[in-house]
Structure 1
Amino acid sequence: MKITLPKIGNLCGVLAPVLWAAAIIYGGSLRPEYSHYSQYISELGERGSSTEFIMRYGAFVPTGLMHIAFAAFLSTAFKDSPVAKFAALLIAVNGIARIGAGTFPCEVGCSLPRLMLSQKLHSLSAGVGFFALIGASLLWGILIRRYHSLRGLSAYSIVSGCLALVFLALMSWSAELRMGTGLYERLSTGLLSLWMFVFAARLWWLKAYSVSPGLY
């Protein structure tokens, strides 16, 4: 199979969720005191931590760039649809927000957003990223009903977005006591990451002919 820029963009959509999950698991394994149940993912990249570099430059920044590349691919693949271009833009916004979250680390504990500008920018980036990707999964769920070969992913995309929003709300609700906060965050980002992986993988194996003649 000839490798082209669109294919690279498509592949980025497949690999970004894998890299994201691997970095979280690996980073957590390096810190025995770290709790995936109660602590934020961002705490793996908090300022001064032993896993700061791994998470900032091995997870947040590279997956952000990969999301932007996947969004560019989608914008080209569905170039005849203005709605698809907007849905792709939301994925790109998530990518930019991830880069922002990696560029500006949170302080220890990631719980005092008013202390430092870096903390404020990290929290803002994280929030924008989550909502952008949730919006993307919902919008793509509606949009792909038009395409016979992708129609089966419609309900899955919408349900993934809705559940991710619910778990994000639970994460916020539990933040003060840190009761399951990390778990809720992982469920939210996990659902969205799995959705992107499934969507990108489906487009890859379709070879695009049934979606758009100009996809590749």
Structure 2
Amino acid sequence: MNILQILAICGMLAPIIYTVMWILGGIMLDEYSHIRDDVSSLYAVGAPKRWLFQILMILSSVLLLAFSIGLHWGINNGEGSIIGPILFIISAFLGVIVASFFPLDEGGELVTLRGKMHLILIVLSGIICIASMVILWLLTKSLEGWIGFAWFSFASAIVALILVAISGIFAGGEHMGLVERFMVSYYQIYYFVISLMMFINN
């Protein structure tokens, strides 16, 4: 097993840990609702067992960042444009920053600058990730072993953009948590698939 495959395993573990985190939230916290509450509320200021969920969130984000650092070299031995992988790194890095320093305010609210920065950085990270999906489609659509992924990446950019828009519509509503989970789960699937592709092709 080489270093790129190890980084790919990090990438595959990241979405698993993230998903386990919010599932645990629903199991451990009676007042927490997957239908109503967003994932970030699990580690908001003053949230019950916040330390556990924040640790899991940081771990997931750091693993994804580790994977993203090797992505350029994991695709066609580093030949071709570096733009897509760089955008992926930026998106993953923002995830680490948010998880570490910008939790939501108490009750999952957006009151302080810190809480508002949480939302701003999360949205920015998501948009940058969508842009990387498009660039990675262009980068891989002619590469042997990556062509199927290329079209998955292109379709993922469209699906993610639609889900982000729908999540915005439902923000603050009774079904915000449910809609958000469809969105974040699609991102997690993408992270797992691209990590698996890097593992297989290296």
Question: Which residue of structure 2 lines up, in the alignment, with residue 32 of structure 1?
Answer: 30
Q: Which residue identity lines up with residue 184 of structure 2 in the other structure?
A: T
2:74 to 74, 77, 99: 77
**Post-superposition offset of 1:110:** 2.7
Residue 144 (structure 2) pairs with residue 148 (structure 1)? yes
Q: With a CA cutoff of 8 Å and minimum separation of 6, indicate the structure with the bigger relative contact order.
A: 2
Deviation by residue 1:113-170 (Cα, 9 ceiling, x = unmatched): xx21220221122112211222222222232111121111222222222112111111
Aligned length: 199
- Equivalent AA in structure 2 for residue 58 of structure 1: L
So what's the TM-score if we normalise by structure 2? 0.90
Root-mean-square deviation (Å): 1.7
Matching of residues 157-176 of structure 1 within 5 Å: 157-176=153-172
- 1:147 and 1:174 map into 2 onto residues whose CA distance is 39
Structure 1 segment 65-214 matched on structure 2, within 5 A: 65-78=62-75, 79-82=78-81, 85-103=82-100, 104-112=102-110, 115-176=111-172, 178-206=173-201, 208=202
Q: Are 1:63 and 1:98, in contact at CA under 8 Å, matched by a contact in 2? A: no
Query: CA 1:130–1:109 in 2, change beyond 3 Å: closer, same or farther?
Result: farther
Q: Give structure 1 regions of 4+ aligned residues with deviation exceeding 3 angstroms.
A: none
SS in 2 for 1:158: helix
Unaligned runs of 5+ in 1: 209-216
| Partner secondary structure for residue 146 of structure 1 | coil
Cα drift, residue 111 of structure 1: 3.3
In the alignment, the residues of structure 2 paired with residue 203 and residue 6 of structure 1 have an alpha-carbon distance, to the nearest angstrom, of: 7
Within 2, Cα distance between the matches of 1:174 and 1:35?
Answer: 15
What runs of 5+ residues in structure 2 fail to find an aligned partner? none
Q: Report the AA paired with residue 200 of structure 2.
A: W
Which has the larger share of helix? 2
User: Normalising by structure 1, what TM-score?
Assistant: 0.84
Q: Is the contact made by 2:71 and 2:198 (CA closer than 8 Å) also made in structure 1?
A: no
